[in-house]
Structures are given as structure tokens and as C-alpha cells.
Amino acid sequence: MLTYLTSTCLPAYSTYTGTDFSAQDVFDVGWFQPTADGWKSGDQSVICYAYRLDEEKFKGSIKAG
């Protein structure tokens, strides 16, 4: 899964935010993945998401304007 994170989620973060992931220290990236049974049943979707490292809430979007 780490390969997926580095090859898909991190580039998606940079494209979405217009910011190089490694050049910032506010957000981290995580993912949701289906269970093993779900994967076998055809649920093969992985969702990447960003969250604040300090766990503070934020309003708005991190999308590049």
C-alpha cells in the first residue's frame, strides 16, 4: 500500500493543491482501503485524503485556486 501512496496519493495531493507535498509541513496524506473480503467481492476503490498534522479543524478547501 505504501507504493500506492507514493505513486498515486502524493502526486494527486500536489496536483490538487498546487503545492509540492514534501515542501510543506501542515498536512499529511492517508488512505482508506477496502477490507480483504470487500476486495475479493469487487470493491477495489482506494480513497486518498489529506489531514492536518496538528489535528486542528480547518474550513474551506486545500484545492489550488
Task: Dig out the grid coordinates for 18 from the structure.
Answer: 498546487
Using a pLDDT cut of 70, give the percent of the chain over it: 100
DSSP structure string for 1-56 = -HHHIIIIIHHHHHHHHSS-GGG-SSEEEEEE---HHHHHTT----EEEEEETT--
Q: Compare 2 and 28 and report the one with higher pLDDT.
A: 28
What pLDDT, on a 0 to 100 scale, did the predictor assign at position 18? 96
Inter-residue contact 31 to 37 (CB < 8 Å): no
pTM exceeds cut of 0.85: no
Q: Summarize the confidence of residues 28-33 as an average pLDDT.
A: 92
- Non-local (6+) Cβ contacts of 60 within 8 A are none
Helix (H, G, I), strand (E, B) or coil at 46: coil
